[in-house]
């Protein structure tokens, strides 16, 4: 009962009682993944092959790439691994060559996969943590381009502009975030601080 999928979660993935039940290239993979600040983990059981994959990391999302790589070796390339490679290519370009270049590369290759909003946001915050504010802004701008109806993308971009000292663009993006999600306390609080300056 625990490992049999009951509720649709996404394409090829169902959720059981605490476990995901997905099918990749004809192989059932049962498991779960999770993360919190400073840790992440993955469990994937592939009954047909007799393999269990366990990855533990002391990095927020450190288990993700490793587990996807191992799964790809066992069951072949999946849409998830294609998405991961595509996302990395676009984000690496944004960091190396800026926002405009990343958008052009995305438009040229967008049929290759999907770019998750959360993954882009995590990369932007990692760049902020490294004090690479200019690249973080390029990455957050890309997220706004990809997800223009998400209050969170504008909120993150507003924060980056605030850290860069660009009050005008910080206010503009926080206002857009609040327009999409009036309950966004972070945007409201930061707007108040910015307007008091």
- Residues 91, 24: one domain? no
- pLDDT attached to residue 79: 82
DSSP 3-state assignment of 10? strand
Q: Is the pLDDT of residue 4 over 90?
A: no
- Residues 123, 174: one domain? yes
- pLDDT attached to residue 78: 86
74-100 tens-digit pLDDT: 999 988 888 889 999 999 999 999 999
Q: Is the pLDDT of residue 59 over 90?
A: no
**Residue that finishes a domain, picked among 54, 77, 100:** 77
> What average pLDDT does the structure give for the chain?
93
**Residue that finishes a domain, picked among 77, 94, 118:** 77
Q: Is the pLDDT of residue 132 over 90?
A: yes
- Residues 66, 98: one domain? no
**Residue that finishes a domain, picked among 29, 46, 77:** 77
Phi then psi for residue 117, to 5 deg, are -55, -45
Can you give the residue range of the structural domain that contains 55?
Answer: 7-77
Mean pLDDT of 112-133: 93
Please state whether the predicted TM-score (pTM) of the whole model is above 0.75.
yes
Total domain count, the chain:
2
Mean pLDDT of 34-53: 94
């Amino acid at each position: 009962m625990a490992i049999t999928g009951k509720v649709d979660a996404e394409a090829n993935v169902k959720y059981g009682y605490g476990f995901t039940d997905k099918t990749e290239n004809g192989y059932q993979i049962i498991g779960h993944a999770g993360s919190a600040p400073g840790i992440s983990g993955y469990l994937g059981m592939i009954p047909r092959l007799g393999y269990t994959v366990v990855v533990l990391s002391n990095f927020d999302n450190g288990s993700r790439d490793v587990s996807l790589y191992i799964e790809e070796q066992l069951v072949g390339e999946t849409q998830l691994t294609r998405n991961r490679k595509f996302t990395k290519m676009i984000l690496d370009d944004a960091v190396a060559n800026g926002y405009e270049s990343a958008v052009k590369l995305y438009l040229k290759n967008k049929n290759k996969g999907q770019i998750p909003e959360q993954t882009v946001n995590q990369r932007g915050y990692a760049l902020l943590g490294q004090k690479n504010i200019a690249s973080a802004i390029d990455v957050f701008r890309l997220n706004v381009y990809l997800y223009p109806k998400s209050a969170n993308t504008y909120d993150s971009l507003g924060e980056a502009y605030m850290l860069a000292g660009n009050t005008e663009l910080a206010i503009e993006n926080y206002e857009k975030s609040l327009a999409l999600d009036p309950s966004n306390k972070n945007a409201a609080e930061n707007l108040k601080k910015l307007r008091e300056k």
